[in-house]
Structure 1
Amino acid sequence: MVSLILILAAGLLTLNAFREYRQTQAVLPENSQWGVVHVGGLTLDQAQQRVLAVYLSPFELRYQGQIIHTPAEALGFSVIFLDGAQPQPKQSNFNSFWAYLWNDPQLVIEREIRFSLDESQLRGYLQSEIANRYDVIPVPPFPIPASSRFSAGVSGRFLDIEASLVRFRAALSNPLERQVDLIVQEQPMDWVDASLLKAVLMDELRKANFNGIAEIYAYHLSKDQQVHFAVANGKEVPTEIAFSAASTIKIPILLTALMQVQPPFPDEFMRLSERMMVYSENPPADRIMEVYLGSTLAPLKVTEMLQKAGFQNTFLAGYFYLGAPLLQRFDTPANQRLDVNINPDVYNQTTAGEMGRLLKEIYQCAVSEKGVFVETFPEEINAEKCDYLMETMKRNRIGVLGEAGLPEGVPFAHKHGWTEESDGFLHTISDAGIVFGPQSDYVMVIFLYDPAQLLFEPANALTARLSQRIFNAWNPDYQIEWNFGEIRYR
């Protein structure tokens, strides 16, 4: 009887265990894992939903200080279930039931999961939803009314989509990583546009009521930005007007002489250079040509050097001393123009454009030992000689014209020029040089001419104002404003 009771009890226990066993067979075994997700104890549907919830959880996109939560599917991510046939729950059989009764380890069902990325969809999302909303377009400075200053520009930024894609691809190997720092590139503030600066400079001429002839050349030496224009009687005309070069011609004189000497330069050469360039004396210019270029035709050697380097409109046709003979008459494209002709000095001529390009080439020679002079005269000119020329010109401190429009202490390697003509009046003023600004180095050449008479004080103030405008445009963090009073030429 006792035995029968024990047998019945064992049978009931086994039947109850079998019921529990059958209930567990609708779920995946413990320790089952699909990809990086543990799915033990879940049904197939539950396991798939958990995998999708993990693999397609939202991304946290970081655009500098901004955080954007975005569904993975919106970014082009999707889940791929591999391993062929769907894994099945455990089947009821004697061996598995016996293992269940004795708590033997169960098989682990593993399944490979992959994460795919539609890069075309991702690019579109980043452009339309991120870049279009958070990118900032740089804004250049603009002129402030009734001032020589420019408004502070605004730097920009833009989402580097291609670089950011690399970080999204990394998520394919680690689906649990949901933070992506987007790569954002800074976009520096633009400089004042060349056309805007030109308009500002032309407006300065208009406000000064300057009705003569002016040609202005400015060249940004690092950004390859150029402003070059000419006006006559208040209207714009083609550039490359032939002007009397006056003392600005001393720049190519010294350059030509430097081709004939080697460092260390003789004391006499340096003394004559200083008297010619810094004190603008004419006898030292004649002496340098006599000693270092030789013969009575020395001025023509300066012209020959310029012509070989490609300068068609700049020449020197005689010495400076009173009564010096005209050695040759030069017809140039500039002085043969019929639309604008100011009857420039037949002894020395140039244009603002050519004088500006001459200075640009000297700068390139000194800084990088490149440019037309080094290419044309490789055995005669080098960076050391060009640097000596610029350093000599920096010592020309006159406190007027272009220099008056610059902040105190800003180096200005320049040569100014003016002279009374045969009628006893001043008609032409010029200043040509290289400004070594705190943010930008640039060439600046200003020529002013009046057929009746060029009054020095208003012309000086106008030149300074034009210089200040160019400096403020190309050195936006160091803008200055000096009041020159009302500039009224006539």
Structure 2
Amino acid sequence: MKSKFLWWALGILGFVFLLSSLTITIVEYQRFKASTAVFPAGSTIAGVPVGELDAAGAEARIADCYNLPVTLHIESSAIQASPQELGFSIDVPSLVQAGLNQIRGGGYWAALWNRTTASPVAVPLDASVDRVILVNYLNTVISPRYTQAGASVTPIPNTTNFDPSASGNHLDVDSAAANIETALLSPDIHEADVPVVDDSGDTASYASLEAFLRHNIDWVGFDGLVEVYLKSLADGQSLHFAVWDGETVSPDIAYSGFSTIKIPISISLMRRLDEPYSDTVINLMEEMIVNSENTAADTLMAYYIDETRGPLIVSEDMAALGLENTFLAGYFYTGAPLLQLFATPANSRTDIDLDPDSYNQVTLSELGKLLEGIYNCAENNSGLLNETFPGEITQPECRLTIDILTLPKPLQFIMTSLPPDATVADKYGYGLDMDGIFRTITDNAIVYTPGGDFILSVAVYDPDWLNATDGQRVIGRLSQTVYNFFNLENQAYWWFDTQ
């Protein structure tokens, strides 16, 4: 009986102890939940020091830091913008809670046994910048206030001149956005540079240049055929068109070559002559190019290319260069036999037939390609001539040829209206047709100018009779217009006549 009572007493006592332990645990848990955690010294959240601060204090400090306005520097000006305007967003409570979780790493039981960490916590920044909002702010708020667009180059009607573009500037949006993002995502940086890039102004397009050249043909009042081939030697852009009495026609028309065929003869000579050239050869080349002496051309072909087939070898060289419309079918001397009859894409056209000389024909684009080949050979020892005839045509030979093409000539066409700072290496051609009527002038040039070098070939044709002065006016006005296109800051002005 006594033993049974003892067991009951022990059971009741155990229950009391168990109930007391549970009560103590619940009370301590409530205290744990109600306790205010303090971050250990040296703690950082999102790069902001929060040591010895409770959760509320940490949130306030972080919010204060990341809500500071960002000062944007635009050249000599500055403007402040709130992070929210710039697309910045941050969840501060979540960051602080992540820090608290590190402090309370073991939860209630770790705190009960006094095993919570006293080491500093470090919570990295977790924030974002909406690039769409940021870029929109730059484009709609900053750009209209602090930048100004430039004005495009505009041709001036009834002149050869262009109204130069007005310079402007624009924001470098990508760089500005990157700088601002860096500031927004840093607790210490609250300013950012917004770069402004100067614009030199838009240049006139080649389409507008072509339209302006057509306008100037109309201004001169020439109603015959005009063909223009132009290529920039800096960027390779080109234009090529032809008009007849104001109507557009297909270019690459077959013309009688006259003395322009002496450019191909010079290239064939370069292939076969050894350096250094003798004085005799140089003198003959100068006579051929400068004075258009046919006897000099015949002598050079007969002695240095082939006495019988010299002209045909020149034609074969042109074919090797990919020029299928350029040929010389006989010597220049009176009564020279026609060595071969050439049919080409240009002289086989049915839409336009100028009845070109069966002995000697060219097209403007092919003459332009030859001059470009000589230019590249002289400047860089590269290009069409060097690639087609490797080791046979040298840079000094090309430079000598350009020097000869640059020598003063009895007449001027492309050079007529250009200022002294332009250097023209050209070969023109003109002559009487088989019926004794003067109809055609062509001039083909490498033009060196301060604003850029270019190839210009122009042909003028009148089916009835070409007044040489009219042809010179057309070519001179077109060449001056092209010069001004490349030299907007140093334009030439038309002073030859008024209309």
Structure-1 residue corresponding to 2:443 = 431
Structure-2 residue corresponding to 1:231 = 243
1:52 counterpart = 2:67: no
Check the 8 A contact 1:115/1:175 in 2, yes or no. no
Distance between the aligned counterparts of 2:213 and 2:70, measured in 1?
52
Cα displacement string for residues 294-315 of structure 1 (whole angstroms, at most 9, x for unaligned residues) = 2221011111011111111111
Match of 2:415 among 396, 403, 427: 403
Cα displacement string for residues 342-397 of structure 1 (whole angstroms, at most 9, x for unaligned residues) = 11111111111221222222222222333222221113123332222222211144
SS in 1 for 2:125: strand
Check the 8 A contact 2:421/2:449 in 1, yes or no. no
Q: Residues 65 and 279 of structure 1: is their aligned pair in 2 closer, same or farther, counting only changes over 3 Å? A: farther
Distance between the aligned counterparts of 1:40 and 1:236, measured in 2?
82
Structure-2 residue corresponding to 1:84 = 99
Distance between the aligned counterparts of 2:37 and 2:296, measured in 1?
105
Distance between the aligned counterparts of 2:376 and 2:148, measured in 1?
35
Amino acid at match of 2:99: G
What is the Cα deviation at residue 446 of structure 1?
0.5
The share of aligned pairs that are identical, in percent, is: 34
Cα displacement string for residues 110-151 of structure 1 (whole angstroms, at most 9, x for unaligned residues) = 664526333534345445544576565554311113322100
What is the Cα deviation at residue 240 of structure 1?
0.8
Distance between the aligned counterparts of 2:406 and 2:75, measured in 1?
45
Structure-2 residue corresponding to 1:475 = 487
Distance between the aligned counterparts of 1:291 and 1:453, measured in 2?
37
Check the 8 A contact 2:180/2:191 in 1, yes or no. no
Amino acid at match of 1:292: Y
1:337 counterpart = 2:349: yes
Distance between the aligned counterparts of 2:292 and 2:442, measured in 1?
13
Structure-2 residue corresponding to 1:102 = none
Match of 1:167 among 170, 174, 179: 179
Cα displacement string for residues 243-275 of structure 1 (whole angstroms, at most 9, x for unaligned residues) = 111111111110110111232222222111111
Check the 8 A contact 1:241/1:335 in 2, yes or no. yes
Amino acid at match of 2:346: A
Structure-2 residue corresponding to 1:485 = 497
Structure-1 residue corresponding to 2:14 = none
1:74 counterpart = 2:89: no
1:179 counterpart = 2:179: no
SS in 1 for 2:153: coil
CA root-mean-square deviation: 3.0
Check the 8 A contact 2:414/2:479 in 1, yes or no. yes
Distance between the aligned counterparts of 1:196 and 1:370, measured in 2?
31
Amino acid at match of 2:87: G
What is the Cα deviation at residue 174 of structure 1?
4.1
What is the Cα deviation at residue 75 of structure 1?
2.4
1:193 counterpart = 2:208: no
1:360 counterpart = 2:339: no
Cα displacement string for residues 424-461 of structure 1 (whole angstroms, at most 9, x for unaligned residues) = 33211111001111011110000001111100112212
SS in 2 for 1:346: coil
SS in 2 for 1:74: coil
1:442 counterpart = 2:457: no
Q: Residues 265 and 155 of structure 1: is their aligned pair in 2 closer, same or farther, counting only changes over 3 Å? A: farther
Distance between the aligned counterparts of 2:453 and 2:77, measured in 1?
38
Question: Which is further off, 371-380 or 184-193?
Answer: 184-193
Check the 8 A contact 1:213/1:449 in 2, yes or no. yes
Distance between the aligned counterparts of 2:55 and 2:422, measured in 1?
78
Distance between the aligned counterparts of 2:347 and 2:174, measured in 1?
55
Check the 8 A contact 2:69/2:83 in 1, yes or no. yes
Q: How many residues align structurally?
A: 446
Amino acid at match of 2:100: A
Check the 8 A contact 2:158/2:219 in 1, yes or no. no
Distance between the aligned counterparts of 1:156 and 1:381, measured in 2?
47
Structure-1 residue corresponding to 2:307 = 295
Larger radius of gyration: 2
Distance between the aligned counterparts of 1:137 and 1:325, measured in 2?
65
Question: Which is further off, 185-194 or 328-337?
Answer: 185-194
Cα displacement string for residues 303-347 of structure 1 (whole angstroms, at most 9, x for unaligned residues) = 101111111111111112222222111111111111111111111
Question: Which is further off, 251-260 or 153-162?
Answer: 153-162
Structure-1 residue corresponding to 2:74 = 63
Q: Residues 151 and 202 of structure 1: is their aligned pair in 2 closer, same or farther, counting only changes over 3 Å? A: same
Structure-2 residue corresponding to 1:275 = 287
Q: Residues 251 and 71 of structure 1: is their aligned pair in 2 closer, same or farther, counting only changes over 3 Å? A: same
What is the Cα deviation at residue 192 of structure 1?
1.8
Q: How does 1:74-113 map onto structure 2 within 5 Å? A: 74-79=85-90, 81=95, 83-85=98-100, 112=123
Q: Residues 379 and 29 of structure 1: is their aligned pair in 2 closer, same or farther, counting only changes over 3 Å? A: closer
1:463 counterpart = 2:475: yes
Q: Residues 423 and 72 of structure 1: is their aligned pair in 2 closer, same or farther, counting only changes over 3 Å? A: same
TM-score normalised by L of structure 2? 0.81
Structure-2 residue corresponding to 1:203 = 215
Amino acid at match of 1:57: L
1:222 counterpart = 2:234: yes
Amino acid at match of 2:290: V
- Structure 1 unaligned regions, length at least 5: 1-24, 89-106
Amino acid at match of 2:59: Q
Distance between the aligned counterparts of 2:66 and 2:291, measured in 1?
79
Q: Residues 65 and 435 of structure 1: is their aligned pair in 2 closer, same or farther, counting only changes over 3 Å? A: farther
1:371 counterpart = 2:383: yes
Question: Which is further off, 216-225 or 40-49?
Answer: 40-49
SS in 2 for 1:67: strand
Distance between the aligned counterparts of 1:275 and 1:170, measured in 2?
71
